[in-house]
Amino acid sequence: MAISKLLFSYMHLVLLFVVVSARHQPSVTGHEAKAQQQADRIGRLPGQPAVSFKQYSGYVTVNESHGRALFYWFFEATESPENKPLLLWLNGGPGCSSIGYGEAEELGPFLTQKGQPELRFNNHSWNKAANLLFLESPIGVGFSYSNTSSDLNDLGDTITAKDSYIFLVNWFKRFPQFKSHEFYIAGESYAGHYVPQLSEVIFDENKHVSKEEYINFKGFMIGNALMDDETDQKGMIDYAWDHAVISDHLFDELQLECNFSERNLTDACNTALQKYYEVYNIIDMYSLYAPSCYKNSTGSTRQFRMIHGIAPHLFSKHEGWHKKPAGYDPCLSGYTETYLNRADVQKSLHANVTKIPYPWTHCSDSISFWNDAPASVLPVIRKLVNGGLRVWVFSGDTDGRIPVTATRLTLKKLGLKTVKDWTPWYSSQQVGGWTIEYEGLMFVTVRGAGHQVPTFKPKEGLQLVRHFLANKELPITPF
């Protein structure tokens, strides 16, 4: 425990040093900012439907000496962008693309599809509620890169938060017209680490920076989020048994042989987990009742490289954990990868400018080791709740990967006082899910949604983010 605390303190000092260094980069004049914005402005993507709002994409450097740059895609709100908040969306993995999943398959304005045209407008895009920013982070993910190949060996939660903060500092220099807007962060899955950790950096830095460098940060929202190893892992097993995915015998074996608070697998636990993961070779772990894709147009498998050192520390050592999520169309990811690897699309996006020597993929094949990942982010969440930030946690209730069972166990562990217990909320005439209002935190379930809530329940997803941004309770009666 003492060594762990010393390591955390050391990483915090390193983070503080690099963040302070980033703040002392040369300022950008108004003329330079406009020129940079214009260079990043997207005219029209191949196969894109016509829209009236502006969109931008390109690179923001986060480390000059290493040549480290993160790729972003930004959409102004569909109406009155000057009056709307700014929302940053992050996908997890770690190592998965916020553009491939978040923008192209979940909540962005343009969703990929099979055939012609390649893109369709998302009628439930979250840029109807906010100015919407997607970031591929860390380097090695999607189009984000470093000219220093050894940077890939230094990745982990700490440097991801650090680089994402530096990205924001420099992005606001490029887009100063959004600097005063209310700023929020949202994400899913391993972004249960990314979002609170980045939020903490912003929260801490805002106490020291000048008025010009202050980020008007108001809160964050995380969905089907990895937050605590013990409860996330226990919740997976409990959910699988409760949803008739595994037998009583296997459930009892897992309970007996696996200690979910440990980081190491015993042989007996490993054997039991192999049996557990076998079922997810025939059904989709991320959405129990969705079909599986057996003919992916890219020919890719549904597995990505094991990354050693990530959370949860017990389950992530098992190959069965490392599966890629699918969408409601189980072959959708194949269409996205085909589209984003086209030279004309990359040119329109101002992407791949350094001729990255590998194809764009949803989840990075370049990342194989993760240096630091706390077993729990609950101390960070508790700190930010106590600091007055708005915090919402949502959960699609058909997800077997980070199920609602796990999230409920995790939030109970957080120990917040319940203000308003289990209450249904409505989307039109139908129950959209349930809420629990804790002191300083709102928990929302989304009925019938898998791991990627906006993919499976787009209408309810947009309703959710609108109420989060407005800080309003979801409707408790039909309308």
Please give the chain's pLDDT, 479 residues, in tens. 444 444 445 455 545 554 544 444 556 778 888 899 999 999 999 999 999 999 999 999 999 999 999 999 999 999 999 999 999 999 999 999 999 999 999 999 999 998 888 999 999 999 999 999 999 999 999 999 999 999 999 999 999 999 999 999 999 999 999 999 999 999 999 999 999 999 999 999 999 998 888 999 999 999 999 999 999 999 999 999 999 999 999 999 999 999 998 888 899 999 999 999 999 888 989 999 987 766 544 433 356 677 888 889 888 888 788 776 655 566 778 899 999 999 999 999 999 999 999 999 999 988 989 999 999 999 999 999 999 999 999 999 999 999 999 999 999 999 999 999 999 999 999 999 999 999 999 999 999 999 999 999 999 999 999 999 999 999 999 99
Could you tell me whether strands 55-63 and 68-75 are parallel, antiparallel, or unpaired per DSSP bridges? antiparallel
> Which is the catalytic residue, given 181, 193, 313, 451?
451
Burial of 211 (0-12, 13-18, 19+ CB in 10 A): exposed
- Residue 67 · residue 59 · CB < 8 Å: no
Residue 80: active-site member: no
In angstroms, the CA 86 to CA 95 distance is: 24
Instruction: Please say if 238 is a catalytic residue.
Output: no
Q: In the block, which residue shows the tokens 């979002």? A: 195
Tokens read off for 326: 């699918």
Residues 6+ apart with CB under 8 A from 306: 316, 319, 322, 368
8 Å CB contact between 133 and 89: yes
Strand, coil or helix: 134: strand
Residue 115 confidence (pLDDT): 84
CB 170 within 8 A of CB 63: no
Q: Which two tokens stand for residue 411?
A: 């939030």
Residue 473 tokens read as: 């309770």
Is 415 exposed, middle or buried (CB count within 10 Å of its CB: 0-12, 13-18, 19+)? Answer: exposed
Q: Are 71 and 56 in contact (CB under 8 A)?
A: no
Active site residue 252: no
- List the catalytic residue out of 189, 287, 364, 395: 189
Each as own residue / partner, the long-range contacts of residues 173-178 (CB below 8 Å, 24 or more positions apart, any chain) are 173/27, 173/28, 173/33, 174/28, 174/33, 174/36, 174/37, 174/40, 174/60, 175/33, 175/37, 175/56, 175/74, 176/28, 176/30, 176/33, 177/82, 178/86, 178/131
Q: Is 171 helix (H, G, I), strand (E, B) or coil?
A: helix
How many Å apart are CA 94 and CA 372, to the nearest integer?
A: 12
Of the residues 199, 397, 399, 427, which is catalytic? 399
pTM as predicted: 0.92
Please tell me the distance from the alpha carbon of residue 168 to that of residue 107, in angstroms, as a whole number.
Answer: 21
Residue at 286: amino acid letter: Y
CA angle 405, 190, 277 (to 5 degrees): 60
The predicted pLDDT at position 295 comes to 52
What are the helix (H) ranges across 123-190? Answer: 157-174
